[in-house]
Structure 1
């Protein structure tokens, strides 16, 4: 514990944009066949360093079969909230859950070149104290660490709905379930909040039998995956409204609210519209009467393709769907980045007017039946997936793996983990850095990225921009 707020905490998103740039990135390494332990790779992001653009340290876990996916910090700028009793926490520990094992590791990053396991929470403790399984998204709140889950109880995770539980942000003990009244929420995926406005938004993917062994075509075509988002009274822990995008909008995944807490809107990415294979982005906002509303503001078309070039799952459609699998919003709330994992494209939209996004940049890399190489000559397996933006908004990093079984299903015969970076133009636009290309160690794939000092999908800001 420090005697002053961590210097990486910022009252406003505006101030965070002026902070020192990142020197290191922490990236998930996952072993898709569980033959090796999963781990965290430390990537050197300092252009003046001899190790720039390489993995300079790895921490592998003592177990196999965890399937690392999403992870997050123990503390962030939300600690500056007037509601907090933890203003002097350090952004020091990464909370890393395994969504197959339900095991959680707490990793000490005090020395980024010598990561250590600080604590391990075994799955039996998660089950006993929460009734949930398959921990997924981590967000640091002003009074604790919030963990979303993708499974309920029982061996297959369908004994009751998944939800959110809270961990103590100092001892890392599991406290218990978040929800007092979940309303219609019976599936889970992502969540985020606006702390001063006291609301939370959560989204839906599917239940464990619908994703652990790959997409279930019958469920997808029957529209049985998640297609709603849920709005919560954050402090009362009560679902106050469920908004259904429409059952054809399958897999409502990443939630990205505006970073300036004065704004009452945000975005949600939808993987696929089953009526036409389009990807979609919805803008959601609070109306004058206090109820939440939404509108589809971005559509991305599929690409026609010879069925012979497609994986079996898609051959009957004769097209490559965009498969919108991640989105991220720059700290100035200006640019929304959309990963089209199927097409092999990263899109940049100007969302200064959140109701009328404009496409301002696009990069092609990987992709089904395309396999576009990196401009430096390296292969890029699968397509652009987990995306992270530097605090100053000038660099966009991304990796390529979605989920082990889905990688195999959509990209049979491919393997590998890569991480790349693109520069953002003065007035928008994306240009891949031909010299920044990281090929992960054989047998490991790459998923979520966290940046030293915080990034655009980590921090919640408690004060409005000036």
Structure 2
């Protein structure tokens, strides 16, 4: 009985304590069928360097339906359950909540009793999601103190444009849909990512586009006319009301992943902007709160790289350059290193952000890329480029996959992107080195996307107490 009344040992009050936790031994990776000819799956991957199966597929859990397009799945519970405001201190990090961005279906995956062979515990059908929330196209999952928060990219109607996109809440024990999160939405219409500072009681969200702007591929006319998202939104977390909008400028198209500082005493964070339509560069922006208001500033830029147009996809041949296309960023638990995945050029960048207003480039590796097509150190081909990244709790390893979104993959990498997963090791003072032993090829039938690590990772947990 006492065992059930102890917090999950993978929950940690502060980021510093989470960094001292045991190393991960397995990872869960989302696999999707690019042409929807087979069901998507969750791969279980051996990431234990002492294992004879290091870097290999342990198990693949296939779904019962086709056409889901898995993206940013997450845990039912994490360190946020230790919040003083939580009524769920004795939850366990047991279930993975997996959204299908194309189908609007949700899967609840049980990782017990055997984490190496998870099972499907529940399926929530699209009609129920729409009926109870008014939203469609679920995308990003975050575990909060009182439930699971899921952002969406669409509203109602066949094409998802009937009403704004937003966030809904899922019960973290029964997995019943509670409904829309927002009470006072304000001007927010588009959505993508979100995260928060729990003790300071604010949330930040970003923008991508409406479903017709991404489901069949990027719409060049909309991009060049600056019709994708370009704003950040800030919210009162407990009041569930919109506080402030910051427009980054219409030319700064698609601010996607938001990464607040992990230490809740630090009121700043980062967002990656995919492309500046005036010059094809990508950028990193820092936001912060001061004087009761939020502010944002561009703090790093990544230029496009000239390229032989014969090596570029038709979409970009007229430009004669490969844009970086920063599609994911991730922040280490000590808030020291920020990683930026340049899906266009094939570069993974490491910045020292000890001073969040002045990121310093401290490491870089090259793998794949539209024009560069850099091979893995093992000599094997790597299609696509670094995209979804995940950092180990101790900050010593950065895992990544190579696919963005199936229809966009076809436009930017017409030769195809067989799903793959690779690993970088991080130097004690920074710097990146690709692990020659770790390159997992999931095959041409699958694309690879989000990664989740056993016991939590750097884009899973939110913490309630500062690091000592």
- The equivalent of 2:164 in structure 1 is 161
The C-alpha deviation readout for 1:249-293, integer Å capped at 9, x for no partner, is 000100000000000000000000000000000000001x21000
**1:307, distance to aligned residue in structure 2 (A):** 2.0
Moved over 6 A (4+): none
**1:128, distance to aligned residue in structure 2 (A):** 0.2
* Residue 278 of structure 2 is aligned to residue 262 of structure 1: no
Q: 1:225-244 residue pairs with structure 2 within 5 A?
A: 225-244=228-247
- The equivalent of 2:334 in structure 1 is 332
- The equivalent of 1:93 in structure 2 is 95
Alignment counterpart, residue 317 of structure 2, candidates 308, 315, 318: 315
* Residue 266 of structure 2 is aligned to residue 285 of structure 1: no
The C-alpha deviation readout for 1:212-259, integer Å capped at 9, x for no partner, is 111100000000000001000001100100000000000010000000
The C-alpha deviation readout for 1:430-454, integer Å capped at 9, x for no partner, is 0001111100034011100000000
Retained in 1: the 8 A contact 2:88–2:146?
Answer: yes
CA distance change for structure 1 residues 307 and 442 in 2, over 3 Å: closer, same or farther? closer
Stretches of structure 2 lacking an aligned partner (at least 5 in a row): none
Q: 2-side partners of 1:115 and 1:84: how far apart?
A: 27
TM-score after normalising by structure 1:
0.99
Alignment counterpart, residue 373 of structure 1, candidates 359, 375, 394: 375
**1:415, distance to aligned residue in structure 2 (A):** 2.7
Q: 1:138-287 residue pairs with structure 2 within 5 A?
A: 138-287=141-290
Alignment counterpart, residue 134 of structure 1, candidates 132, 137, 140: 137
Q: 2-side partners of 1:442 and 1:256: how far apart?
A: 32
**1:306, distance to aligned residue in structure 2 (A):** 2.2
Q: 2-side partners of 1:415 and 1:348: how far apart?
A: 24
**1:79, distance to aligned residue in structure 2 (A):** 0.2
Q: 2-side partners of 1:256 and 1:130: how far apart?
A: 26
Name which of structure 1's ranges 266-275 and 109-118 shifts more when overlaid on structure 2. Answer: 109-118
Alignment counterpart, residue 113 of structure 1, candidates 110, 116, 129: 116
- Match of 2:257, SS state, is strand
- Match of 2:436, SS state, is strand
* Residue 461 of structure 2 is aligned to residue 459 of structure 1: yes
The C-alpha deviation readout for 1:43-72, integer Å capped at 9, x for no partner, is 011111121110101100000100111100
Alignment counterpart, residue 2 of structure 1, candidates 4, 12, 17: 4
Alignment counterpart, residue 407 of structure 1, candidates 406, 409, 414: 409
Stretches of structure 1 lacking an aligned partner (at least 5 in a row): none
- Match of 1:78, SS state, is helix
Q: 2-side partners of 1:14 and 1:404: how far apart?
A: 37
Q: 1-side partners of 2:336 and 2:371: how far apart?
A: 32
TM-score after normalising by structure 2:
0.99
- Match of 1:313, SS state, is helix
Q: 1-side partners of 2:170 and 2:148: how far apart?
A: 5
